[in-house]
Structure 1
Amino acid sequence: MLGRSAAFVVAATVGAATLSAASAPSPLYPVYQRLFGFSSLVLTVVFAVYVVALLVALLTVGSVSDIVGRRPVASAALVLLAVGMMLFAGAEGTGTLLVARIVQGFAVGAATGTITAMILDAAPGPVIGSVVSSAFSPLGIAIGAVLSGALVEFAPLPRQLVYWVLGAVYVVLAGLVWLVPEPGREGAERNVDGHEGTRPSVWRSLVPSAALPVEVAPTFAALAPSISATWALAGLYLSLGSSVIGDLLGVTSHFVIGLVLGVFFASGIAGTALSAALRPQLREPFGYGALAAGVAVTMAATASSSLPVYLVGSVLAGAGFGASFRFAVNALGEKAPPESRGEVFATMYIVSYLAFSVPALVAGLAVEAVGLEPTALGYGCLVIALVAGASVASARIRRRGASDTTKKQEQA
């Protein structure tokens, strides 16, 4: 078995590698459109089926790792992800792309909650655990976008090589996760009602469900708008981002398209680290402020067809994405009992990926009706509105907490 530090590195690597699969097809979407002759609506359907499959996985196997352990779930998900990469490499039409996205989505859905819990289990401390568990998503997506764009632009076999590389990585990691120690699961001898004496049923855990421990639910409800805002913006970048950069900003290089997409997600890593360095009372407003300001700048860049301004906006929005999501992961990690972390983070990712996919699918319909530029601008307005909602929800929670504290002091 690996030591704690090595196990933490492996878990973080698995997390980043898994999310690389989500963005790897993005620089290739314009190629697929030209090659297979499908519309922007079909493009968003190809994007959306990934999320549907991912949600099915989160609703069914999302909490299985709390029962059988992190290693078997993570390993099986990585093997399935390698299969999905091979399907992409052999894609010869829209139907094959849809099948590949479904397999990929189910694999990522099975892995995300489990790997987030694995990172927190192996982390040497809560601060670095929350930073890495929230940073691996943007890091992985950035790696996938930039790697794919580079290989498509400069390497041979542009529609296959990136998938072969990622598939090989997943097979290796599927073996490495078996060296990560399993934590003691205090809930391993509790039944589904929480009583002592009966091991939880794996089969019952596969019944589609999304649940939260009672002590986590209020925090989760307050964070839902910010989680939705961050992942709705990520959905725009990965679904229509290539079209916005290519058609509205005039970029023709697949590598540059991948690089611009990667800038947003790489900035998310910087935002995550910066958030951890700030005083606790500044972390939430910094995340929300940077997210809203960045979206506003990208909207101005889209309207004026300015790539440099779009890059500035992407850096700001990405920093807000990372800081806001890190704040959510940290808050939920602090509230969640260790034996329920897989379930809590699976539920978090259900909300995340609903926000990731539903607005993007609606945007695909809107592109057909009103065009790409009005759709992108309207999408930006939606994200800013969600950020405003998150700020209001947070203020209400703070006021309620202050009121409860005052009442307790008066009673004392």
Structure 2
Amino acid sequence: MLSCKAESIKPSSTLFITAKANELRSEGIDVIGFGAGEPDFDTPDHIKEAAIKAINDGFTKYTPASGITSLKRGICDKLSKENNIQYDSKQIIVSNGAKHSLTNAFMAILNIGDEVIIPAPFWLSYPQMVKIADGVPVIVKTTKEQNYKVTVEQLKNALTDQTKAIVLNSPSNPTGMTYTRKELEEIAAFVLENNLYVISDEIYEKLLYDDVKHISIASLGDEIYDRTIVINGVSKSYAMTGWRIGYTASNKDIAKLMYNIQSHSSSNPNSIAQKAAEAAITCSQECVEEMKKEFAKRRDYMYERVKTIPLISALKPQGAFYLFIDITEVFNKRFNDKKITSADELAELLLTEENVAVIPCNDFGYNDHIRLSYAISLKQIEEGLNRIEKFLNKLQ
């Protein structure tokens, strides 16, 4: 008999959809892929040059398991200057991407049966990671009317004697919504009152629009700082998804546990990628601003265009690069003889009939929504939305 735990873990539907779209493209089919969870920009030159220099300098050996000191110091400086949070290098664990960082965090704090409150919609890997760490994901569904953000009242209703932690993702994947200072202060008070931890996933923090400011819950006081594990990385902000560098910032006790886990599971993150990440974090941030301006243009176009398409609707995202689209009105409509009753069915029809790949959000906690990424060119966005509108107009 194989591992029951392993058999309970679901594969990533986003990776499956992306792979399917790529497979069709390899067959010469013109597929518009809205599934991308990565920027379509190239990694900036100065970052690539730092990696090339590392190779030429022979920086290709093992490093400390938690990452090189210069990178960790750069992360500490970034957190101090940009987020008003003070850490030393012993509190930073650099890992093989933010997914690895998240898994380390859950494994460091959870015992068998501990519950983790995850507001829905959520990034689909959170519940699976909690299960890998022997925890129990507790899903709390938010609504469009509350901007898909969890309230303290909902947290109170989900609280049990087994509750150990809460996951916060701001800006959010898939909604692009962000928590305000007041909302975070209320959540922080609840966390402290109930002796919980916060896993604060801030991977999209630099991709914010319309003068929205990112606030880390860890910056709201010494007590909540001590109960928060900040998750971040270089994948989204610097177009470095394939470089696989993420990091955590936490109190020293938790950091030590994550170090111990990582030292046995994967050892150090890639040495060359660490040097590239150091250049990304410590050098000019102009490349991020240029990318963000382009994302803002695409977001504005996609949002305004979706408002004109029948049967679907969305809130305007404040950050990240996704539109979370309500397809409730599509349900019970028919394409030929087929009645559409789920996001999965709509996604399948869009792919087979119009060669458009979208992400059905059942695995994000919402069976009546799809996610569209605007991390693709404006030309592709326009053509893809044309195809979606064409399909929706065929429904009866």
TM-score (norm 1): 0.27
**Which has the larger helix fraction?**
1
Higher strand share: 2
TM-score, length of structure 2 as denominator length: 0.28
